[in-house]
Amino acid sequence: MHYLNYQGGKLFPLTILILLSLLSSTVFAQTKTDSISTYSQIRADNNGDGQPDLLGKKVITTGIANSPSGVFHEQYLQMFIQDDSSGISIFSNNIDEPIAPGDSLMVWGAVDSYNGLIEVEADSYRVYQNRSVPRPLNLIDLIANPADYLGVLTKGEGLITDKGSTYNGKYVIISPEESPHSIMVYVSNFHVRFSEFNFDVLSVGDKIAVQGIITEYNPEFPGQKNYKLFLRTPDDLNYIGLPSYYISLIIWSVLGLAVILLGIYLFMRYRVETKTKDIQLSLDQKEVLLKEIHHRVKNSLSIVSGLLQMQSISTENEEANRILQTSQTRIQSIALIHDKLYKTDSLSDIKLDVYLKDLIESVHNTFTELNNRVSLQFEMDSIEIDSKSVIYCGLLVNELVVNSFKHAFKHRNDGELAVKLKKDGKNIILTVSDNGPGLPEKFNPENQDGLGSMLINTFAAHLEAEMTVSEPQGRGASFTFTFPHKS
């Protein structure tokens, strides 16, 4: 249905579309607001409190889609609509009807603010297929004042001045050659084609051409406005010339080949001149090392396999996502041990404090919905223990931390997870505590039927640990384990 046309950057009057839509459905006429809100009205902050005046209010808005549905987020509707010079983000938990760039939309929903991004959380929307895609504005014309062009499709070229990643995406900073200003070019890890955006080959100083949506969004610095250019597809980013990455790769490949040839020559000389005894000793050491690594990998994979099997047997009606998340953290706790072993000179001992800190932060990152609501507190002595004890200690802490994230912080915005590791003579004291709602009545960790409690008791037994459970100051839960220091 061609109710709107977008030609030469001009929108035909939306009034006709609005009237036709409102008159065509008595249900919408009775349940939705009867006036159209402009993008500037939706974003208006007249009282200066940093939030839109219409926050939480029901509105109707219209525009042309400059991005398709089902792209910016793997599960939900996240997209942008615009007019000649401004636009707005549209979000919904459901994609009722597919939307393509150029489609005309009428949206009913409530005004929301997500990490600085002002958007309309849609209750419902209507699509009027038109396929007249908005013509992108020139980046050089709006980079000085991006706040005036939020939600608008733009394109341009620039030199990369910085690159990096955040917990929820990756980015480069570009600056057009003829402008003193710069802007972030960004792609979220919720993007369905996130892995196809190859930022690794980009380097500072490279020139690129980009096309995307100007928007405000900055979860790293809450309360501050930061303007970004959201890429829609990998085709929105193109290299101009040969990236420095490939030039460096060619140079290093040539140098590497020269080094390899030189190494082969020196090694051949070494083999001729070195005594047979020294050569045999070197080969024996390498063989022992390889056997040791294979042995550790085999044992770790056996533990992972056992955990997954136990999870499968004990689980009856649990949600699949919950099972996968729990299994993932257990696998990570073991994989992290191998990572530490490969990066240390010792094949037998690991720094327990460093390992536990990395493990807990990894679990924290797995529960993305709690990242900003739960803070981690560490108080740890530097302790080295044998790799076998590290495995059981890591699995024990993993169960406690995952349990806290699942149950202690569901309804808290100020969650705290504290981990203490102390050396007391020949013993190690490990404490994991949270500020959640506390333990159930008549809680007895030794008589729990759940898989988690059974695993905690099993791992504690392998460590020869004494376990103490308490509720400090009448709130939260604290688990303390005292076990002998084996190194």
SS3 of residue 320 by DSSP: helix
Residue 484: both structure tokens together: 């002998």
Beta-carbon contacts of residue 108 (< 8 Å; ≥ 6 apart): 28, 32, 33, 58, 59, 60, 122, 123, 124, 125
HSE-up (13 A, CA, CB side) for residue 165: 12
The pTM of this model reads: 0.47
Residue 242: both structure tokens together: 């040969």
Q: CA of 464: how far to CAs of 108, 389, 427, 483, in Å? A: 61, 10, 11, 6
| Helices vs. strands in the chain: H and E counts, helices first | 10, 21
* pLDDT score for 167: 79
Rounded Cα–Cα distance for residues 114 and 166 (Å): 17
pLDDT digits (tens, 9 = 90+) for 78-115: 999 999 889 999 999 988 889 999 999 999 999 999 88
What is the block-wise mean pLDDT of the chain (487 residues), using blocks of 10 residues? Answer: 35 39 40 73 90 94 93 90 92 90 94 89 91 89 91 95 88 91 92 90 92 81 72 93 84 91 87 73 63 63 61 60 65 67 64 88 77 87 88 87 82 86 93 86 67 84 90 81 87
Residue with tokens 């690129």: 208
Supply the DSSP symbol for 36. Answer: B
Rounded Cα–Cα distance for residues 222 and 36 (Å): 30
The domains found in the chain, sorted by start residue, are: 6-128 (2.40.50.140), 137-240 (2.40.50.140), 274-484 (3.30.565.10)
Rounded Cα–Cα distance for residues 177 and 417 (Å): 48
Contact 215, 151 (CB under 8 A): yes
